[in-house]
Amino acid sequence: MAQSGLSALCLLPVATAWTLETMAKKAHISIPMLMVLPSLLLATGIIGYPILDLAWTSMQEVSRFGKLQGFVGWENFAEVFGDPLFYASLWRTGIWTGAVVAGTLLISMPVAMILNDDFYGRGLARVLVMLPWSISLTMTAVVWRWALNGRSGLLNATLMQMGVINEPIEWLAEASTAFTVEILVGILVSIPFTTTILLGGLSSMPQDAYEAAVVDGATGWHQFRYITLPLMKPFINIAIVLNVIYVFNSLPIIWVMTEGGPANGTDILVTYLYKLAFRFGQLGKASAISLIMFGVLLVFTLLYVVLLSRNEADAAPEDEVKGHDE
């Protein structure tokens, strides 16, 4: 008995140390979670409540004044999916989002690389590139609508003075021309934000990698392809996700310039939704479209994150193999 008691006393410090270590690990895990919890609950409430309210409204018959008049189930969704304008707007939304995001990235990357170089007047150049970001989209769209006016627009006047055209062009009178112009304006207003993200990534690049590449005789294209692009992937991914969300939900440019016309030819989902809600008073259908738009963005974001995670997981073993070979 005395021997077993002595053994227990000898093991007591070990058990105590193990218990304290376990508690410390649990505390180390739980304390950060507790610190994040208030913000998480707040974000859940701010985002979750409107979504739940939207889902409930989409299953109601709603008067044009916003009064709920009865539960109709999936009837609003059935009407939306039975409307040809919905599919046309959905297709046009995909073109609008893809073209604006791709064009913005293609232009913002070289702009960011130029602004990252050390040259005289770089500070002023950065200010000039970022300046359009401070102007509201509505004001920008109003200016472009005036500039593209077929009768007294600045663009027609300039082109006629230069001898490029002989008579004024109605830029916003045809859906194909108007939609193309709106895409170009969308790219223009998205460049400052995207350039800021990419410039932040370029500023954090390790310069010793470029110095070693120059010593090895790498050209500018090889440096961009094998150093800049791989290191810029996280920033490019952030720019893609944020731009897709912003452009997908963007209303001012198309609404101010053409209001989805002519003949609904430039409607995207958000302008189609706006017309249903505030012009035709069909708030139930508008709520259903809002929920569909939320679902589309959620699915896109989740798929994009999953694909990125898989690519990173596939790239990790290759890096380990290269490290062992070296």
Least confident of 128-142, 232-246, 307-321: 307-321
- For residue 321, pLDDT over 50 is answered with no
The string of pLDDT tens digits covering residues 183-208 is 999 999 999 999 999 998 888 888 88
The string of pLDDT tens digits covering residues 89-102 is 999 999 999 999 99
pTM comes to: 0.82
Is there a contact between 260 and 33 (Cβ–Cβ < 8 Å)? Answer: no
- How far is Cα 188 from Cα 147, in angstroms, rounded to an integer? 15
| Separation in Å, CA 243 to CA 97, 167, 190 | 8, 37, 8
The string of pLDDT tens digits covering residues 149-186 is 888 888 888 888 888 888 888 899 899 999 999 999 99
Regarding the domain with residue range 84-295, which homologous superfamily does it belong to in the CATH classification?
MetI-like (1.10.3720.10)
Q: What is the pLDDT confidence band of residue 267, given thresholds at 50, 70 and 90?
A: very high
